[in-house]
Structure 1
Amino acid sequence: MRALLQQVRDRLHVIEDHLTVRTQIAAAVAVMSVVLVGTLAAGAALISYRNTAALIESSLTATASTASGRLDRFMATRQQEMKLFAEMQPMQTQWQGDPVALRSSLENLQRSFSEFAWIGYADVNGDVVAATGGLLQGKSVAERPWFKQGLERVAVGDVHEAILLASLLTQRANNEPYRFVDIAVPVRDTNGDLLGVLGGHLNWDWASNLIKDVEANDGNADATLSILSKGGMVLLGPQKETIRYGGDELARIVKTGAGTFRETDNGEQMLTAFHVGKGHRDYQGLNWIVTATQPASVALKAAIWSAQMILAIGAATALIALSLAVVVSRRIAAPIVALTREADRIGRAHGPTMLARQSGSAEVVQLSRALRSLLRRIGIAEERTKEAELRATENAMQLQEDMLKLRQLADTDFMTGLMNRRSFLAVADDAMAFCRRYKRNMATLMIDIDHFKKINDTHGHAAGDDAIKRVAEVVNQSIRTTDKAARFGGEEFVVLLREIDQETAVLLADRIRTSIESARVSHDNVVITLTVSVGLALFDESDRDVQDVIERADQGLYVAKKTGRNRTFLMPAEDQRAARAA
């Protein structure tokens, strides 16, 4: 583990070394800003979500509670009405009187409370004495639960289907069966003796209307209300007459009495609020469970929106913080960057080598001072070094100049400045190897001053030297830059002509000869005329080396001398081959 941590630290150091101070400061501030703002935004979003969700859940619970309360109040009112009707003084004479009159009174009661589908009075034996519409009149209801309970107390029965009564009523338009809630009240005389039971069947449609009214006015258009029995069966609402909750879940709902929870319906998350009816006043209640259900996406839309807005504000704040981090990092790093750039230019550009003073923080000021002081010390050392380098450079330049002079003395003729024999032969050997390798042409001229001994004898050796210099000057000016000229000794010169054919070589040789003939040498107010003889030889494949070409040119020079001087003679290679063969 320790080795792994060390590897991580080493990796971080490598990354740090590749990041600028500005980037590191910006990254640090950005990370802190994002963490702090993100934490605050996430916390605020969570709190807002929970609070808003709690308000929404409370509102949904209030809707279920409202519906449950209205159910209990309705039942309590109907129960109280039945009880008051049974105890009315005018009715004391009718319970055991004319059944027709009793029926009329019961029908008047039904018209006042239209929710009752049937109201009837049965004696203690369970025989129906009178009933609205004459329904079940004369029939026995002794086995009915409502009658048995009504003999003992005011009783309310849960929702059920009354098959016998339903068969006597008009068939409903939707063909759904009639469902009723029973209310039974014991009937006693003035002495308190039990006379019978007053029973009423409430048409369950009133609950449907009540639920619709609550759904329409609860402000939650997508809330769906349901009524469940205490056993978990759906009495009204989606999936009617099915068991919606049971076991521990039902026990928890009944025990809690009111609250919210989430459930899944057909793969969709639903938010469900519930309220268990506990009765109202004298009405003990049937523990009906009223649920209000909404899709979680709809119910918690406001909470989700609130959280998203807070997160969006947090993100915007984080972006602003990032921008400020970049600005601050640039401001802090600017003096360091400036020092780095100026330090990098030292030694690369001309001008002063002193850093400009930088400010921005105490550390930057101290660093600027330290670097300026260091540069001053370096400047002194550099001045001393420059002085030493200058002396060394001067000595080196003098040595180089001396070496160049020595090399020139070694490679050139001291009088004419042309190449000497040694340097010329080296160049000529390379030229001949090139011509042999690449099948190129080359020619050699041997030039000799005519009657040179007579010039020396007549005008002196100084005049002879001037003549040699003048001939060298004309030869050097007449040849191309690729050609080479040398003084072989005395009044004799040799010229190497590269990349040239026979015709051009002859023309060039004659041009040199005529140029020298036109030239004049003045010495002690005496004008000396000059002529030269030229021997010409072209490179041939049979030549063993450059000496063969020079020798052939020299033979041509000999012929030119013997045939009258001041002329050019081309010595063919065949003559040399013939002589070599002989």
Structure 2
Amino acid sequence: MRTLIHKLADSSRAVEDRLTVRAHITIAFAAMIVVLVGALAAGAALVSYRNTSELVNTRLAAVASITAERLDRYMAIRQQEVHLFSKLEPLRGLWQGDRPSLRKALEQLQSSYSDFAWIGFAKPDGTVVAATGGMLEGASVAQRPWFRTGLHDVIVGDVHEAALLSSLLAKRADGEPHRFVDIALPVRDAEGTLLGVLGAHLDWQWAQNIIARTEATDEDADTTLMVMSKSGKVLVGAGMNSTRYAGERLATMLETRSGAFTEKVGEQNKLIAYVVGRGHREYQGLNWIVTASQPTAVALSAAAESAKNILLIGAGIGVLGIALAFLIARRISHPIHAITLEADRIGRASGPSMLPRQRGSLEVVQLTQALRSLLRRIGFAEERTKEAELRATENALQFKDDLSKLRRLADTDYLTELMNRRSFLAAANDAVEFALRYRRNIATLMIDIDHFKKINDTHGHHIGDIAIKTIAEIISNNIKSTDRAARFGGEEFVVLLREADEQTAQALGERIRRAVELAIIGEGETRLSATVSVGIALIADGDRDVQDMIERADQGLYVAKNTGRNRCFFMPASEDRGIRAA
């Protein structure tokens, strides 16, 4: 073996002795071209492939995260609505009152939020007292999980098929069984005594709609979404009701809460990003797992094409360098060395960010251009990343602004921008409690537009709306910043005056009445005048809450209407009690 090695070495030296210096330089230069360009192309291709893969994973994770947040936020809002409904002061007398009135109140809630398939109230023994559509009234739900837990605490149950309601609800168009998410909580009277359980069943179709809208609006049509329970059962998506993940994979997903992995599904490899819902505010969440997936061939096609092009460019430059090395070996050696030094400085603390242009040979010029183009593309990718981060920040700010607008809409009448009945009663109850506790004056005006039906019938509902808005502006312009005004419904308004005695209240009522009488209402060629009747009442020691004072002001309004309209009438507390007694 040693003899063979010596012979090969002697033969190699014999060949080297027959080659010229230019041949040596050409061969060395050609080898350098192959090594440097090949390494740079392979490294750039690998970096490009990995960066694109990370960007795809980030995008899929963002889609899954946004979808999970939408699901949790929707559930939190529905839970809050049911909770607020159970606490409404006007309903305190209905929980143990007549069944038709309670059923009507529940159906009004259902009509406001169509995703509630069923809302019912059951006594502590499980007997349904009243429910939307009269369904299950008189039946026992004592063995239902939502009722048993709802006797003691707020419960949000996971997705399940309809049991008692399956035969009462209309069949779905797709033939699938009805699926619900349960919300239930205990209802107690003022002393804390349990009156029963308020239960609501959300039709699971809302979640399917959210997923469908997200997939439809996503810029990548190959992205598919899936929602699973914490047990790995598919709630929305392909293979519904089957168990998609279990064992170690499921445990890892629940523990890490978010992440991404590659999985072979059928004949395709897919990139899958997942996010576990974290709840929203008081809603603790049900650990729903949202996944966003995309075929690897589609997701990484751009990365594979880019890597292929980089490698082809590198190969082409290498072949061209070898072909021209013999002629320009001496001249090209120095520029190549300079390029190597400049490339090594890029990205360092005080180094350049772009290669300088080199001259001396075609290979050097082409190599410089290719590397400068590569650096520009990397810079462009970095700029796109910064733009994506900026858009994410802008979306977060827009969400905050939208949330603020929704809160304002919840407390404001859509036509007049005055307070609505719910927000007014909440503020008025606090003001009345303060006035009764510290014996301060507070007054209420009930204002109603005279002959409003005639305005609508004669001039149309559009002019009627203009009349309501004009009178609302007159009311707002004549009250103090500490006073509160609301539209109670239709053409009726209510005003709460702080620190106001009888004389002040009557003066304000007369001022509003006079301003309305002098106002010209309408638009275009339609011009008309209107009048209002005003009922006035002051807080009295015997008042239980703001409703007593509003009722007295409403009686004053009744008197004003029946004694000629376009006038104010003050209803004293003593006459109010006399009217109640009568």
| TM-score (structure 1 length as normaliser) | 0.55
Residue 162 of structure 1 pairs with residue 162 of structure 2: yes
Amino acid at match of 2:103: R
5+ residue gaps in structure 2? 333-582
Deviation at 1:316, TM superposition (A): 3.4
1:146 and 1:34, CA in 2 relative to 1: closer, same or farther beyond 3 A?
same
The alignment yields a C-alpha RMSD, in angstroms, of 2.2
Residues 20, 142 of structure 1: CA spacing in aligned structure 2 closer, same or farther, 3 A cutoff? same
Give the alignment of 1:158-307 within 5 angstroms: 158-307=158-307
Query: Quick one: which amino acid aligns to residue 31 of structure 1?
Result: A
Report how far residue 125 of structure 1 moved: 0.9
CA–CA distance in structure 2, aligned partners of residues 302 and 118 of structure 1? 49
CA distance in structure 2 between the aligned counterparts of 1:81 and 1:210, rounded to whole angstroms: 19
Partner of 1:67: 67
User: What displacement does 1:326 show?
Assistant: 3.2
Kept after mapping to 1: 8 A contact 2:45/2:311: yes
The change in CA–CA distance for 1:58 and 1:7 in structure 2 (over 3 A counts) is: farther
Deviations 1:276-319 (A, max 9, x none): 00100000000000001110011122322332333233233323
**Cα drift, residue 42 of structure 1:** 1.1
| Post-superposition offset of 1:163 | 2.6
SS in 2 for 1:95: coil
Are 1:312 and 2:312 matched, yes or no? yes
Letter in 2 for 1:262: T
Name whichever of 224-233 and 188-197 sits farther off: 188-197
Q: In 1, distance between residues paired with 2:81 and 2:184?
A: 11
**Partner-residue secondary structure (3-state), 2:160:** coil
Q: Using the alignment, how far apart are the partners of 1:19 and 1:183 within structure 2? A: 89
CA distance in 1, matches of 2:297, 2:45: 17
Could you say if the C-alpha distance between residues 173 and 310 of structure 1 is closer, same or farther in structure 2, counting changes exceeding 3 Å? same
Displacement after TM superposition at 1:322 (Å): 2.5
Q: Distance in 1 between matches of 2:202 and 2:149?
A: 17
Helix, strand or coil: the match of 2:211? helix
Mapped to 2, the partners of 1:180 and 1:240 lie a distance apart of 14
CA distance in 2, matches of 1:11, 1:238: 69
Q: Which residue of 1 aligns with 2:34?
A: 34
Residue 152 of structure 1: CA displacement? 1.4
Distance 1:29 1:262 in 2: 43
Letter in 2 for 1:252: T
Q: Aligned AA for 1:70?
A: R
- Superposition pairs of residues 321-340 of structure 1, within 5 angstroms: 321-329=321-329
Equivalent residues, number = 333
Report the residue type matching 1:103 in the other structure: R
Distance 1:14 1:252, change over 3 A: farther
Please state whether the residue corresponding to 2:164 is helix, strand or coil.
helix
* 1:329 CA drift (Å): 4.2
Task: Give me the whole-angstrom Cα distance separating, in 2, the residues matched to 1:143 and 1:191.
Answer: 27
Q: Where in structure 2 are the equivalents of 1:425-574 lying within 5 Å?
A: none
What is the rounded CA distance, in whole Å, between the counterparts of 1:299 and 1:99 in structure 2?
58
Identical columns (%): 56
Structure 1: how far apart are the matches of 2:15 and 2:195?
100
Q: Find the aligned partners of 1:229 and 1:179 in 2 and give their Cα distance.
A: 13
Aligned match of 2:501: none
Q: Give the C-alpha shift of residue 16 in structure 1.
A: 4.6
In structure 1, what is the equivalent of residue 445 of structure 2? Answer: none
| 1:32-78 CA-partner distances (Å, limit 9, x unpaired) | 11111111111122112211211111000000001100000000010
- The Cα of 1:207 is off from its aligned counterpart by 0.7
Map 1:127-142 → 2, pairs under 5 A: 127-142=127-142
- Please give the alpha-carbon distance, in whole angstroms, between the structure 2 residues aligned to 1:12 and 1:267: 53
Corresponding residue for 2:386? Answer: none
Q: 1:524-560: per-residue Cα shift (whole Å, max 9, x none)?
A: xxxxxxxxxxxxxxxxxxxxxxxxxxxxxxxxxxxxx
**Partner-residue secondary structure (3-state), 1:167:** coil
SS in 2 for 1:166: coil
Give the Cα separation in 2 of the matches to 1:2 and 1:163. Answer: 88
Deviations for 1:175-229, whole angstroms, at most 9, x for unmatched residues? 1111111111211111222211111111111111100111112212101100011
Letter in 1 for 2:92: Q
1:376 is matched with which residue? Answer: none
Q: Distance in 2 between matches of 1:242 and 1:14?
A: 75
Pick closer, same or farther for the CA change 1:72–1:328 going to 2, 3 Å: same
Q: d(CA) in 1 for partners of 2:3 and 2:111? A: 93
- Structure 1 unpaired stretches of 5+: 333-582
Change (3 A) 1:56 1:331: closer
Q: Deviations over 1:400-434 (max 9, x none)?
A: xxxxxxxxxxxxxxxxxxxxxxxxxxxxxxxxxxx
SS of the residue corresponding to residue 273 of structure 1 reads strand
**Structure 1's 3 and 78: CA in aligned 2 closer, same or farther, altered over 3 A?**
farther
Shift of 1:26: 2.6
Check conservation: 2:122, 2:197, Cα contact below 8 A: yes
Which stretch shows the higher mean deviation, 24-33 or 3-12? Answer: 3-12
Distance 1:59 1:2, change over 3 A: farther
Report the CA distance shift for 1:171/1:10 in structure 2 as closer, same or farther (over 3 A).
farther
Structure 2 distance, partners of 1:219, 1:109, is 37
Aligned to 2:120: 120
User: Which has more radius of gyration?
Assistant: 1
Partners of 1:187 and 1:7 lie apart in 2 by 101
Mapped contact 2:162–2:177 kept (Cα < 8 A):
no
Partner of 2:78: 78
